[in-house]
Amino acid sequence: MDNRLYLLFLLTIVFGIQDAACQLKSFIDLSIETGSAFRDLNNGNDQSDTQYTIDIRDQNEVSKSYWRIGLSYNRNILSRIFFRTGLRISKIGYESNDLQHLLGGNPYSDYPHMPGRVIDVFAPVQIHFDHYHLELPMAFRYEILKSRLSPFVEAGVNVNYLLNAYSNVQIGDNDNTRVSILNEENFNRIQFGYHFGAGASYRIEGDLQLFTQLRFNFLITSTTKSAVEERLNTTGLELGVRSGF
């Protein structure tokens, strides 16, 4: 009798696990994210002249809006825990009016991104810097409630590949000049980071959901190979639609 009860207990566990596994689903989602991007500068060699450069740039830079579009795969690995990964394209940048310091303090010089063109750095100037990335995020999401409206938290890591970088310069009344500034000597093409966020999903019907979250993204790897370490970080709102299959 004891052996029969033991066998019944094992069968109950096996079929219980099998039933739980059958309830675990996969989802795919399409999302867009936008918000504010800002550049974090750090002194990589602790030299005073480098710190002066950072201080000047911090005074003359402002945040800029960014966008990120992605297609993600979601796998339900436990009852309320999902693994999420996919591919994203992003445009992240910042703005500055500090052309004089970029020229090393020379009032008249060849702008390094436009050789042969003499620039008056005392004229009003605005510079837009844009970096385009291909991103591979890997994250875990915990859904707090299993209901039609479900709040959740999400955290993970990113691997980014820098596709290109541009500067868009307007000096005085001159037209904008947009040029690529990407080169292997000055930029790290592969960058690592992490992100976290919190939001909620709303189940429309079946496995079709709408979701949104406030998302924070930070780089660990410096974008540039220089004494001034540069990291492009973002804070924004992600909106998307998700469907099971």
Q: Coil, helix or strand for 87?
A: strand
- pLDDT band, very low/low/confident/very high, at 96 (cuts 50, 70, 90): confident
Buried b / exposed e across 1-31, counting CB within 10 Å, b at 16+?
Answer: eeeeeeeeeeeeeeeeeeeeeeeeeebebeb
Q: How far, in whole angstroms, is CA 128 from its chain's centroid? A: 19
The larger pLDDT score, comparing residue 215 to residue 182, is at 215
For the record, the structure tokens of 152 come out as 């959740």
Alpha-carbon torsion angle 98, 101, 107, 109, nearest 10 = -100
Considering only CA atoms, which of 71, 67, 69 is closest in space to residue 91?
A: 67
Eight-class DSSP state of 119: E
Q: How far apart are CA 106 and CA 142, in angstroms?
A: 54
DSSP-assigned letter for residue 113: T
- Asked whether 26 and 75 are in contact (CB, 8 A), the reply is yes
Q: What pLDDT, in 10s, does the model give residues 192-205?
A: 999 999 999 999 99
Query: DSSP character for 227?
Result: S
Does position 103 have pLDDT exceeding 50, yes or no? no
SS3 at position 18: helix
Higher-scoring residue by pLDDT: 54, 207: 207
Q: 0.75 exceeded by the pTM?
A: yes
Reported as a pLDDT band with limits 50, 70 and 90, residue 151 is very high
pLDDT of res. 109: 43
- The CA distances from residue 185 to 23, 80, 115, 119, 226, in Å, are 51, 45, 18, 25, 10
pLDDT digits (tens, 9 = 90+) for 41-65: 877 666 656 666 666 666 667 788 9
CA distance 15 to 18: 5
Name the helix (H) or strand (E) containing 137.
strand 125-143
- The residue ranking higher by pLDDT, 12 or 186, is 186
Phi and psi at 243, nearest 5°, equal -140, 140
pLDDT (0 to 100) of residue 11: 55
Strands 208-219 and 149-171, bridge-based pairing? unpaired
Q: How far apart are CA 56 and CA 168, in angstroms?
A: 20
pLDDT digits (tens, 9 = 90+) for 216-231: 999 999 888 877 788 8
Q: What pLDDT score was predicted for residue 241?
A: 98
Provide the pLDDT for residue 52.
60
Whether the Cβ atoms of residue 168 and residue 177 lie closer than 8 Å to each other: yes
- pLDDT: is 163 or 117 the higher one? 163
What does the pLDDT read at residue 67? 97
